[in-house]
Structures are given as C-alpha cells and as structure tokens.
A and B are shown apart, each in its own frame.
Chain A
Amino acid sequence: MKDWEYRLAEHRGTLTALAIFVVMFIIYTANHPAGFTANVIQTAANKGVLLAFVAMAQTMVVITAGIDLSVGMIFLLTNCLASWLVVGSPLETAFGVLVVLAVGALCGATNGAIVIYGRLQPIVATIATGAVYFGIALLLRPFPGGSVNEHLADALTGRIFAVVPASLVALAAVVLLIWVPFSRSVYGRAAYAAGSSETSAYMSGMPIRRGKLLAYTLSGLVAALGGLFLTFFTYTGDAAFASGNAYTLFSIAAVVLGGVSLFGGKGSAIGAVFGALAFRTIGDLLFVFDLDPLWQPLFQGLILLAAISLGALALFRVRNRLEWFL
C-alpha cells in the first residue's frame, strides 16, 4: 500500500463525515429562504458548535474504548456554574471562565479516576457520576436564571469582520490547541493504544493509565467549553435534565457519524466535529422544508438509525463467521 493510500484509509471516517456535512449544508442553504448569507451561517454555526464541543469531549473518552454518559451533565453543570461566575469586570469574568473550565476538567478527571483506578465499567460509572453532576447543577440553579458577561458573550457568538462566525473560530482554536497536541502527544497515542488493545499497549510499556486519565480530563474540559458557550448563547443557566440527556445521546450519534469506532482506538475528534455539524444540519432540514416540528424527534432518530446501519455494511466483507464475535 502506498503512503497516501494508507493515510487516506486512516482518515476515511473523518472525510466521510466532512462529505456528509458539506452535502447536507448545501441542501440546507439552497432551500433556506434567506439563502447562503452570513446570518444563516452564524445561526447554524452557533447551534452546531455546542454539539461539536460535546461530541469532541465524547470522542476523547471513546478512543480509549470507554463511553461517557455524563458528558451532557458536565455540560449542564458548567453552564449553571458559568451563569453565576462569568459576570462582572473583565478580571472577574476571566477568573470565572478559568474556574468553570477547571471544574469541567475536575469532573472529567473524576470519571477517569473512577474508571481507571476504581476499575469500574465506564458505562455504569458515568451513569452514576452523571447523576451527581446533575444534582450539583440543580443545586446551583434550581430554577433557570443567572446572567453572563454580555460583552464577552456577544463577542464570542457574533461575527468576525462581519462574515466569519466567532463561535466557529473558537471551535477551530480549541481543535488546534487541545485536540491536535493531545492526539500527537505520547499520552494521546497511549490513549489510542489503550483503546485498541489495552494488553498490547501495556506490554509495550505505554503510559496507558496517565494517557487515559488525560483523555478523560481533557474530555471534561472540552465539555466545559461547550457549557460556557451554551451560557454565552442563552445568557442563563438552566439545569434541564432532558437537555443534558439529549446532548449525551446526540454526542454519541455525532461520534458515530464522525467515523469514530465505539470499540476504541480509531477515529478523530475532527471527524466527530463534522459529525456533530452534520447531525445538527440534518435536524434543521425539517425547518427549511417547512415540516411540522413535531416530526423532528422521529426524523433525528431515523437518521441516527440510518447512520449506525451503515456500520453494519462491514459484515459483507467478513469472510470467516468467527469474526462476527470480535
């Protein structure tokens, strides 16, 4: 196999997600009454970026062969916290942002510690920690409310040079500053290796525990970034259980659409970001085609079902029946 072929195969999932997103977005803007304008793109970006952050957080855990069912609750918790702290003078606001991010990272690290050192299954452990994080969010905001530094919020949700949505720039910055260095670092490779085969990774002397812990911690941090942006968009904190659950669910859908293997060790957060943007765009297609919003949950469910069924196509390539049971 030639070098470029190998590289193409490695990024196939990401490229497929990008292709799906581009096609969907073209259909979306072509049918949108306002067309391809800066306004339409800004609205779409602001909606998509939230899910993109949560999906990126989910990816970091999924590549270690884990799953984070508390990611939506970390997102809610940091939203509620931000609605208290990210206010006032620039200095206070900056302090608030730091605290919110630190709390997110702490939540992620807690998940990681329980899974790695407590040796519990990620799925059960994060269900339980999710309940705890939701409880804390509810403690912070029993009723929707609070406020946020509106200058910062408007700057980050507006447009740069009146064209480029600032939230997209922020998303790209996070990908470049957090995901790219992480995935190329020794710990990032260890997280991948642990997801691919923990025993082999251990035998090769990779720092799998620290790699996994870092993956969980960064996952919490990125989920907190999502929570911050939610606060910037809504100007309030709201501990809505259904919303947290939906984000967890959609993040898994985005990860699958983004070509990240749920068995771990394969895929990229960039793919998941495109998966998230594609998922949101598909959901919004209903509105441009002027259908009853009542159909949206069913429509999103069917898309999710179609996306995962694509994964089953690999069965046709299986030569030996025993490979079914991997």
Chain B
Amino acid sequence: MTRATERKQGFMRSLDPAVLTAFGCIVLLLVLGSFYSRSFLSPEYLLQQLKVASFLGIIATGMMLVVLLGQIDLSVPWTVATGAMMACAAAAYGPLGTTLAIPFGILCGIGIGLFNGVGVAYLRIPSMIVTLATNAVAQGVMVVYTGGFSPQDSATAAMRYLATGALIPGIPNVVFIWALIGAAMVFLLRRTGFGRAVYGIGNRERAAYLSGINTRRIVMTAFAASGGLSAFGGVLLAGYASKAAQSMGDAYLLPAIAAVVLGGTSILGGRGSYLGTVAGVILITLLQSILSVTQMPEAGRQIIYGVVIILMLLLYGRAPASR
C-alpha cells in the first residue's frame, strides 16, 4: 500500500460520521433555502453568513475546549457583555485607554474564566453551578457599573475595523480572525501535550491525573481560555454594533453549546474535532438566517430552532445504550 493511500485512509478514518452528517445538513439547508430564493447560493450571501458565523465561531471555540473536558461554561452571556462593555469603557480613558481597549476587554474575560477555573478545578464545584454563579455576579457588577442602562461609551476605531473592515479585499476581518483562532485551536488540540491532556481529562480525569498530568492546572487554563475567547467575541460584537448593550451575550450561549454538540463533540467530554465545531457553527448560523429570511415570527423561529436541534441530536448525538 502506498503512503498516499495510507494517508488517505487515515484521513477518512478521522472523519467522524457526526461531522459528515453536520456538513450534510448544511448542504441540505442551502438546497432548501435555494428553493425559497436563488440568492441563497450567491457568494455575497454565503460570505455574509460566514461573517455572521465568525462571532459565534470564536465563542464556540472556547466553549468546545471546556466541553472537551466534560465541563460546560454557562457564563458566556455576561462574559461576552463584560468584554464588550469593559473594552468600550476603557476607550473613554484617553489615547492610552483606546490603545488598550481590546486587550483590557479580553483580560476581563480571562479573569472571569480564571475564577470559573479555580472553582471547577481546585474547589471541585460542578462547572454548571460555578459558571451560572459567575454569570450572575458578572451581570450584577455590570448592572451596577452601567446603572442598568446600556453604556454610552462607544467602540474604538480598532474594534470597528476588526469587526467590519476587510484587510484583504473580499474577506472580512472577522472571518480571518476566526480562521486564525481555529488554526491555533487545531494545533493546540492535535499537536501539543496540552491538547492530548484535554482529551485525556475528558475521557477520565482520574486516569489522566495518575499518568502525571497536572489536571487541575489544565482545567483552569481551559476555562480561562474560554472566558478570554467569549470576551473577545464580545469585543468584536461591540465593534460590529459600535457599542455594547446589556443583553448582547444572551443570544450566544445556547447557539454556542448547540454548535459544539451538533458538531459531534460529546457533551460528556473526551471526544470531538474542531472541524465538527466549525460545521456546527455554520449550521446554526444558516438555520437562524433562513428562519429570519422567511420572515417567520420569533415564536415560530424558537420552536423550529429547538425541534431541529433535538432532531439532529437524536440523529447522531445519542449516548450508547447503557447495557
């Protein structure tokens, strides 16, 4: 057998049926959409969708890292909002603040993530609870800070450029940023000890610990990364809308989890590929876009959205029969 065919077989093996199904669903959605309107297959529309998907993609990247560990991060909504609000707030402090706006926003997110990580890894509190609580605290801090209204500070030029500009004509910057983050994530998961450890912990933390991995530090780092990525998503969203808003993150928690799970990552951890998450993100974005283009009222959109997620999960997200 030649090396080329061997490699090809390895590649085929690495393709998860779940990932293939997700890509199949994307094609199906596009075909269904094109029956409704020709423009669904136009490059402009697809590029626009990719741009919208990028924000979710960046947030879902962090979520995936945490889900691979067998944990979950429910603090996404207010981490996104905190990142956005703090970046905008920093912009109000003269030229230095403007320069440091983006790092400062991300740093706030990393702080929230670190807090989650310490709670989960060192205090051994279930991640669902810690992250719910930090979400509530972050919300409380932001409500006190903004006085209950959307803050008046607006996004810096750099944030707007990252979110809406195009360095290479035709390719929006956010898509580029998502690609960079995605490449880094793939490298991290497949080529570094950290990535192997993440899968190991997701499969069985006890075994990973016994084989000499500092599991607690890895879990903490993963949560910090998730917080940072959520906040970065928030910074970019603020740049996109040119200001931060109270509930801007609410619309990202469920889609991020759904995208990760629909992409074939096991919610119990230890199994999943980044390609699947990319598929899941695009799938969710397309679904939302098609539902809004057909001018379905909000109620109908929610129902279809929920039903589709359940059906797809029943298709390939089922746990093995337990006996």
In the complex with contacts A135-B299, A325-B206, A298-B140 CB distance below 8 A:
yes
The complex places the Cα of A322 from the Cα of B209 at a distance, in Å, of 8
Is there a chain B Cβ closer than 8 Å to A30's Cβ? no
Q: Judge if B314 is at the interface, Cβ distance under 8 Å.
A: yes
**Could you say which residues of chain B place their CB within 8 Å of the CB of A199?**
322
Q: How far is the CA of A301 from the CA of B138 in the complex (A)?
A: 8
Interface residue A6 (Cβ < 8 Å from any Cβ of B): no
Q: Tell me whether B6 is interfacial, beta carbon within 8 Å.
A: no
The interface residues of chain A lying within 8 Å CB-to-CB of B298 are 135, 138
- Mask, B130-166, CB within 8 Å of A = 1, is 1011111111110110011000000000000000000
Number of interface residues of B (CB under 8 A): 58
Q: Is B309 in contact with A128, judged by CB distance below 8 angstroms?
A: yes
A127→B257 contact, CB < 8 A:
yes
How near does chain B come to A108, taking the closest CB pair, in angstroms? 15
CB pair B125 A312 closer than 8 Å: yes
Q: For the complex, what is the distance from the CA of A249 to the CA of B139, rounded to whole Å? A: 13
A208 to B88 Cα, complex, angstroms: 52
A121 within 8 A of B: yes
Candidates B125, B140, B309; contact of A301 at CB < 8 Å: B140
Asked, given contacts A131-B303, A132-B303, A135-B303, whether A308 binds B129 with beta carbons under 8 Å apart, the answer is: yes
Asked if B306 is at the interface of the complex by the 8 Å CB criterion, the answer is yes
Task: Tell me the B residues contacting A by CB distance below 8 Å.
Answer: 72, 119, 123-126, 128-130, 132-141, 143-144, 147-148, 205-206, 209-210, 215, 247, 250, 254, 257-258, 261, 267-268, 297-307, 309-310, 313-314, 317-323
A142 at the interface (CB under 8 A from B): yes
Which residues of A come within 8 Å of B, CB atoms?
A: 67, 114, 118-121, 123-125, 127-132, 134-139, 142, 198-199, 202, 241-242, 245, 249, 252-253, 256, 262-263, 294-302, 304-305, 308-309, 311-312, 315, 321-322, 324-325
In the complex, chain A residues whose CB is within 8 Å of the CB of B144:
294-295, 297-298
Closest 6 CB pairs of A and B: A298-B140, A135-B302, A301-B136, A131-B306, A135-B303, A132-B306
Q: Which residues of B contact A301 (CB under 8 A)?
A: 133-140
| A135 and B306 contacting across the interface, CB-CB below 8 Å | yes
Q: Are A249 and B140 in contact (CB under 8 A)?
A: no
A128 to B134, CA, bound (A): 23
A134, B302: Cα distance in complex, Å: 7
- Option from B123, B135, B323 in Cβ contact (under 8 Å) with A309: B123
Indicate if the CB atoms of B302 and A304 lie closer than 8 Å. no
Does A252 lie within 8 Å of B132, measured CB to CB? Answer: yes
The answer to whether A124 touches B257, judged by C-beta atoms less than 8 angstroms apart, is yes
Q: Is B310 in contact with A295, judged by CB distance below 8 angstroms?
A: no
Interface centre among A131, A256, A299, A308 (most CB of B within 10 A): A131
Please tell me if the beta carbons of A305 and B317 are within 8 angstroms of each other in the complex: no
A302 to B138, CA, bound (A): 10
**B258 x A123 contact (CB < 8 A):** no
26 contacts between A and B (CB under 8 A): A118-B310, A119-B319, A120-B310, A121-B268, A125-B310, A127-B257, A127-B309, A129-B306, A131-B303, A131-B309, A135-B301, A135-B306, A136-B299, A138-B299, A139-B300, A142-B297, A256-B129, A294-B144, A295-B144, A297-B139, A297-B140, A298-B140, A300-B140, A301-B136, A301-B138, A309-B123
